[in-house]
Chains A and B, each alone.
Chain A
Amino acid sequence: GQNIDQPTEMTATEGAIVQINCTYQTSGFNGLFWYQQHAGEAPTFLSYNVLDGLEEKGRFSSFLSRSKGYSYLLLKELQMKDSASYLCAVRDSNYQLIWGAGTKLIIKP
């Protein structure tokens, strides 16, 4: 079967750094996505990784290791508005997105 694993919930402090991990087992791999979803709102695209390594975009970075079936999303200089769920999704060999359940990130002052 296909599986995406993420921690259910994480807590971090405003101004700090947090790393959200994602591991996956899918039939084929055609890229990994990170989306942000605020409570009661739609998911919005954050990043895409298809090659191994780190992709940096402002305060957010995403890392991929295909051999390990592993990715992480790194959030720096945390702000209260970063409180949200972060969804990891993998595109499989059929180009279908397989979604994780998301990690709820709680930011404390």
Chain B
Amino acid sequence: DTAVSQTPKYLVTQMGNDKSIKCEQNLGHDTMYWYKQDSKKFLKIMFSYNNKELIINETVPNRFSPKSPDKAHLNLHINSLELGDSAVYFCASSQEGYSGGFSYNEQFFGPGTRLTVL
């Protein structure tokens, strides 16, 4: 049973194209995320989304847009792809948990999509 799944796993495309990456979680979580992990391995949050609120990292170009048809899905659309968009994109989901009276959210990551822009 895959908790968080992404498709495709690999995506190779030309500069200027438009592409989408799909993400689905079957954990019943309220919140989903998109991360970009570049060649230096920094994980950068791009978006976090639940059924109430979309939080956008202000450094993300508006060529990137999340689309959520329902609570279990958060797809990522990228327009006019650029060379610098090449990276691994991770989808994740989380649910608020509690430990010792404090809340936290453990994030569950998908397997990642390696995007290469030529």
Q: Are A and B bound to each other?
A: yes
| A residues apposed to B, CB below 8 Å | 31, 33, 41-45, 48, 50-51, 85, 87, 89, 91, 96-97, 99, 101-102
Residue B52 interfacial (CB < 8 Å): no
Residue B18 interfacial (CB < 8 Å): no
In angstroms, Cα B69 to Cα A10, docked, is 43
Interface residue count on the B side (C-beta < 8 Å): 21
B100 touches A51 (CB 8 A): yes
Write out the residue numbers on chain A whose beta carbons fall within 8 Å of the beta carbon of B13.
none
Residue B45 interfacial (CB < 8 Å): yes
A101 touches B41 (CB 8 A): yes
Q: A41-B111, A51-B100 are in contact. Are A99 and B44 (CB under 8 A)?
A: yes
A42 touches B109 (CB 8 A): yes
Write out the residue numbers on chain A whose beta carbons fall within 8 Å of the beta carbon of B48.
96
Ranked 5 nearest A-B pairs via Cβ: A42-B109, A99-B43, A50-B102, A45-B106, A48-B104
Write out the residue numbers on chain A whose beta carbons fall within 8 Å of the beta carbon of B110.
42
In angstroms, Cα B42 to Cα A99, docked, is 7
B102 touches A31 (CB 8 A): yes
Secondary structure of the B contact surface, majority rule: strand
| B residues apposed to A, CB below 8 Å | 4, 40-45, 48, 55, 90, 99-100, 102, 104, 106-112
B42 touches A97 (CB 8 A): no
B42 touches A42 (CB 8 A): no
Write out the residue numbers on chain B whose beta carbons fall within 8 Å of the beta carbon of A31.
102, 104
B90 touches A42 (CB 8 A): yes
B111 touches A101 (CB 8 A): no
Write out the residue numbers on chain A whose beta carbons fall within 8 Å of the beta carbon of B41.
85, 101-102
A43 touches B104 (CB 8 A): no
Write out the residue numbers on chain B whose beta carbons fall within 8 Å of the beta carbon of A89.
43
B99 touches A50 (CB 8 A): yes
In angstroms, Cα B109 to Cα A45, docked, is 9
B111 touches A50 (CB 8 A): no
Least distance between A103 CB and chain B CB atoms (Å) = 10
Q: Smallest CB-CB separation from A31: which chain B residue?
A: B104
Write out the residue numbers on chain A whose beta carbons fall within 8 Å of the beta carbon of B102.
31, 50-51
B45 touches A96 (CB 8 A): yes
